[in-house]
Structure 1
């Protein structure tokens, strides 16, 4: 059975545009569903992550079928990747199995294996069980349990987690506590164990494969996730891993790291991870990482002026920095935030920073009087 045929059998709704999604959503008989869904999507677009959202989207088979491709826009390309991976011997464990679509796909693909799905929310587990029954699958089972501290008493040939780490940490999407992802890498990659990485280490068999697709859009957040795994003896095989690219109806183009990992004594270092992220994922020049790589290259960019702005908005406290940089005859006005944004606002190939001074000062004036700005101070370095 092809992936398209499988998704059709699950009756997953497909939308060609955001307009089509909203039109069909507001056409549902239960008008409360549209109101609740819009509120949740607005929160998600603001960076708020709440595991309880899954209870709404997946609390019934009907909701799951309607919303799944929207709240999990990576579903189709993830199933394509899983279809191409040759899994090692042993049963399969999915942590944070949600409505059970991925687990049921694997159960159908590997009828000789037992697939176990674990999720925190009882209503969501019930939906997954209904889906397995609908598909006539007897080799998959779903259980309601907490991931942190999970002890199933056995190991699995394959452990899988999808968009789970962020929900377990209740983190913000794209929210970072530093201005340079690249300079943060050496610290990030030695992160201590997390409840998720500990659970994986507990249940992954020797010679087993851990497949993770987690929301780590910034290279330093990828490094932190890798560090959490490596602290429990699990390391990614970068040559087999990739940045998975997909387009969401509501979110547009996105990238998430699909990491294939195993028990290993060797560790991935910061430089290797950065090279994998840059060389293995077809970065465009507009990408924040490509811009930052230019700023933090071997060339001696000199800070002529720089200002930091303290920000308080609907997402909480944050900060932004604007730099006037110079290297030989080139000049840049570089904007960065501790939420992951990187942008070259102005640049010149002659005349150095002097050519851009007026534009730099004008930009500072605009930011200073922004109502979200609560503090302004000068800084002297990157």
Structure 2
């Protein structure tokens, strides 16, 4: 992607580059650290990729054992994202003034870029990982920045002496709210699911609100996306009087060492009046086309946006929702069939002739679940 010169220069100065693959990344990491560290980090990354290690606190302590090592890991997993963030920070100059509170600052990569671009700002980075904070301080010193402050603290208990004009969170929400979101389903009826995420995010949104001036802005780019969690995050902010700036909210795709990742972009402001669903619909409607089969977050959006009432059939094993089916009629008169499980979502539109086959397919799939072992819940919602 095309980036501003300031972004490119910053990345070159910190040796933040794209890696063609894991071997190139590990070889470069070896040059910056040592063999023992590389092995420990590689083993940890492999176990996380396989879902065997969810101890984020351990991982970030390991990542931040040295500043150069931390920056190298950030380059592998966040350099694509950082290009987008850097451009966004430069384009959003009207928001960066006074005190900037960067939540979950890690090694200070983004905090220091903000401080470098806006020397008139005071940038306060907060992270509960002391090793990360020490690296952020070292990075600021290396860059000759005099307008940064880095604090080791849990954001849930943190209070600025003077409230911030802008609070930022970049790729940190998944880690910061990990305990609160644990066990919240990634599928399910949207209102109930996003309501559960809203409650999970509420303590963090409240902590942010307590540190933000009236009229202050929140800017977050997160791995909670339109698939799940993003609407709940905006709702939690709105519950604290921090409502979305509709036209600034967006979806973002950024490449890391292994694949392209989806991100949600939230701009919100204290004492603004827009609603989260208004911002969500504004973003999602840009790619919506009635009558077209879609997958992922677009499938669920189309189901709600293009119908008046939805009939859901949910399949549970114990208390866990495993599979969800839905039927609806589009505003244009076509039949809509939706299916979701923990890994995918899809929606197809059918005319009268194809509806018969779609109904048979629905019945066949539902029959695979033994009612003695699985619980089937059927209900309708107004969309």
**Both proteins in one fold, TM over 0.5:** yes
| Aligned-partner Cα distance in 1 for 2:124–2:239 | 25
1:108 match: secondary structure = helix
Aligned residues: 368
1:11 match: secondary structure = coil
The question of whether the paired residues in 2 share the 8 Å contact of 1:88 and 1:208 is answered with: no
Q: Say whether residues 1:155 and 2:163 are aligned partners.
A: yes
Given candidates 81, 87, 98, the residue that maps to 1:74 is: 81
| Aligned-partner Cα distance in 1 for 2:64–2:318 | 36
CA distance 1:376–1:13, change in 2 (3 Å): same
1:2 match: secondary structure = helix
CA distance 1:364–1:20, change in 2 (3 Å): farther
Given candidates 7, 20, 42, the residue that maps to 1:3 is: 7
CA distance 1:25–1:192, change in 2 (3 Å): closer
CA distance 1:280–1:174, change in 2 (3 Å): farther
The question of whether the paired residues in 2 share the 8 Å contact of 1:212 and 1:259 is answered with: yes
The question of whether the paired residues in 1 share the 8 Å contact of 2:128 and 2:155 is answered with: yes
Greater relative contact order, per chain length (Cα 8 Å cut-off, separation 6+): 1
Structure 1 unaligned residues grouped into runs of 5+ = none
Choose 46-55 or 99-108, whichever is displaced more. Answer: 46-55
Counterpart position of 1:263 = 270
The question of whether the paired residues in 2 share the 8 Å contact of 1:48 and 1:173 is answered with: no
CA distance 1:99–1:358, change in 2 (3 Å): same
Structure 2 unaligned residues grouped into runs of 5+ = none
Counterpart position of 1:141 = 149
Q: CA offsets per residue over residues 91-111 of structure 1, 9 Å max, x none?
A: 222111101011111111122
Higher helix fraction (1 or 2): 2
| Aligned-partner Cα distance in 1 for 2:310–2:122 | 59
Counterpart position of 2:188 = 179
Matches within 5 A, 1:321-360: 321-322=324-325, 334-337=338-341, 339=342, 341-344=344-347, 349-356=351-358, 359-360=361-362
| Aligned-partner Cα distance in 1 for 2:155–2:255 | 29
Offset at residue 65 of structure 1 (A): 2.2
Offset at residue 75 of structure 1 (A): 1.7
Counterpart position of 1:194 = 202
| Aligned-partner Cα distance in 1 for 2:189–2:362 | 20
